[in-house]
Structure 1
């Protein structure tokens, strides 16, 4: 088999919301289609990919470096031993050829989107859901039939901070989520505490609410928030400081005994290993949120799982950021802790299969071949439209 064409486009993922650092009114993502010469039911098998919100489209890196390397390669150099499917590891090495170590960031995002499309192709050619492919290849056939998911949300509502937030939390509760997340750090501590208490009036127990500062705080502010949050027994306190300020994270662990979470803005296995070594993270209660769609893709995430386990961390403490179907398949097939969801924002890309409900904070697995994007018809239609593929 061979790759016939790779298309990429810039798509808007704008939402009229903000967190402690940025607003999302002009946010974009890269969307990708890998068209193969493998035919099924009269149509070529096409793999689709995109990266998570929070990082902008990476068309320059894709068009001038990563995609040309694949299109210039010999087809056999991208395929498995039998030549009937892509080999994700060979493909990854090819598009990352001539790239220096380090410098993680936008390059990792471009690679993550492209690698996602590669895995969609692989699973579709095998005619299996991606989670099953991962289970069979890398997890001795084990998988989770239900996945823990939580909605990322709780943004600021100018003019209706508490009432708007409470309405959002009621919506998540009605949809079947057990834990929901809200933003902090975009206001002062007093205002944020009022917002948190407003959310808890809806959700009840503190273990049903996580808070996310999006890296806003210096050490003193992070500690002040930690002291105010600790009596509430929240599900976690997320990304209090700059994601690379391991000293802040380490010091905060001495002042906050509850669960913490971070890692969505770390874009390499080495960064995550440094977080574990130097960031004071505790394997018995904390969470690592590295996002495969932003950090070189699933192919590199396999290395990340191996590396964190070698450092004494169970893979169940991995909970990817992003709210997308790639992370859902990884959570199922590789049995990590669960994944984020975006049922209310960043549409049509957020959330999972349209016809699988959330029950008791968990979702069941899609049975469609590939990542499952065909189970979100509006998302697929939008992807194909921006990629100028016939609808």
Structure 2
């Protein structure tokens, strides 16, 4: 299948992902991909945008509205590029500061700065979405957002990311609320300047080659465990499931979700919907279905002497594999007979216990009716475990293995 060692696609920087070159190579080798390519964890949309640029029909789903917006922004056709500059000027010229008592942006910003940012967001909504919806949170409207509106929302995402960088911690997937006295207070001029700079940056890097956008490619809200697709309609899958490393993908996108008006309750509900969430949802699944490797690993975690092993950590791993079992079952349902699914997965350790995710998912796939599961491994030197010095008390090895798992 080639290498996944190229730089992760970084048009919109996000923790998870893989390179455009990897998707291009996978598309070249996928039998049946001329029918429909699926990414059930589409993230920022690398699979869908590369498929579109290669004139391959594709659909990508994600439960996170912020990521659906970014993925839709990347599908903006070349015919609209010339309008980005003038529209950006219109957005800022029609923006008016909003008086705020409560707003998710107050997590980082003073009321004055948050009100200026909210004014820009509402200007985008009035000009590019629906004039009557500007005062309503766009949190659940991601699937229906035009690619042009999604582009300017993504510009706002980048603007906020740049402005809050001084308050970011060392963990790129976690945000700590800023104390009131330390809230950021950029001026309206600073916000407008950064918005315009972000628009120019994202416009310049939108596509690497000629892109017309004539093929049917969609990026939509959807759950990998309940795909809104008919059975036997997918000719190939290219995806990277959430890693089993307790990354909180919901909190990681808190800045983007704040722009979309998602409050704490929305964020909690979103986190609970995600495969791999570190929150406890009560889903445990049936480990006996998952194969010998999963059963042995879970038994080892439950028996481990370290704190919370038999409780939280065992339940976390069970919850992750229950979600992946349901997701793989959905893939098997929607894929055509013999069609390939290419999954990028990463292993990890619980203390000294090896969680061989690729092997476990391969055993699940066979149990669910796939004919075979092939894996190709690549070492990953820098990962969350390698940055944690406490791992050394359990094992000498801190590197991870990333695998390409091909199911048929």
Scaled by the length of structure 1, the TM-score of the pair is 0.26
* Greater Rg by CA: 2
Give the structure with the larger strand fraction: 1
Give the structure with the larger helix fraction: 2
